[in-house]
Structure 1
């Protein structure tokens, strides 16, 4: 188990949250992971690292979508939104496989923005630190624990 996955499971257990771990063969795109885990791409949250006016933030969007950076910048009141480079965030998620960061910015000291599209489902699924492990939990629990800003972007 990776450090982020362990930290995340500990956090969920401490808060008495029910969750499901789905092991699957390694996949490297959000849509591929959703398919491998037999989870709808509509509620599989792809974690995208963004730089908003040079501050790192985490954006979570449905697997089949792309972040609309200008729209995100407007929604959060930033002058500029760009995709963060790997070198900007790789140290923030020790033990986490690249592209498998869970959408829990609160555990990693950064703001979390979630696409309103993800709030339409009862559950949210996401990578839990590995390209071969998906975590599934109730949307209301995710909202309560992470307190993300839910926006249209």
Structure 2
């Protein structure tokens, strides 16, 4: 779905959005920096296969998937990161790695880390490595109807609680 098709869909749904052009960037953190958006507001889209079905995982650019926890929260044994060759044809007109998080338009379930819901707005790649779209999160949620998840993710920038940072005393050796 090229950028113009996504914009047409949003226009048809009467969604107010802002398109932001930026110099080409290929990682979510790089996009956030170039588009002057906080990493917790920019959504990145990860394509996976869950029990043989392709799906999207959408999470803040500043976060990572903890696969062990994610698999447990999904109550399944088999989740695999999809290879680009497997999914590039599912997103006609989109640059690989810049898929917008609209699984409903691509016949895919969308699993969304609920941390994104804490933001009034969401920003995401619009099908290219040089443009993002910003819109109200509640409108995005109403259009996409993602399955909200609170487990299976980690933000490496979140400070650890004090009790995790304290060093444990080393027991004296009894030689």
TM over 0.5: yes
Q: Which residue of 2 aligns with 1:51?
A: 49
Shift of 1:69: 2.4
Shift of 1:82: 1.6
User: 1:129 aligns to what SS in structure 2?
Assistant: strand
Q: Which residue of 1 aligns with 2:72?
A: 74
Q: Which residue of 2 aligns with 1:29?
A: 27
- What is the TM-score of this pair, normalised by structure 1? 0.94
Structure 2 gaps, min length 5: 153-175
Q: Which residue of 1 aligns with 2:140?
A: 142
Q: How many residues align?
A: 151
Root-mean-square deviation over aligned CA pairs: 1.1
Q: Which residue of 1 aligns with 2:164?
A: none
Shift of 1:76: 2.9
Please state if 1:118 is matched with 2:116.
Answer: yes
In structure 2, how many angstroms separate the alpha carbons of the residues matched to 1:70 and 1:81?
Answer: 10
Any runs of at least 4 consecutive aligned residues in structure 1 with deviations exceeding 6 A, and if so which? none
Shift of 1:98: 1.1
Shift of 1:135: 0.4
From the CA coordinates, give the structure whose radius of gyration is larger.
Answer: 2
Shift of 1:10: 1.3
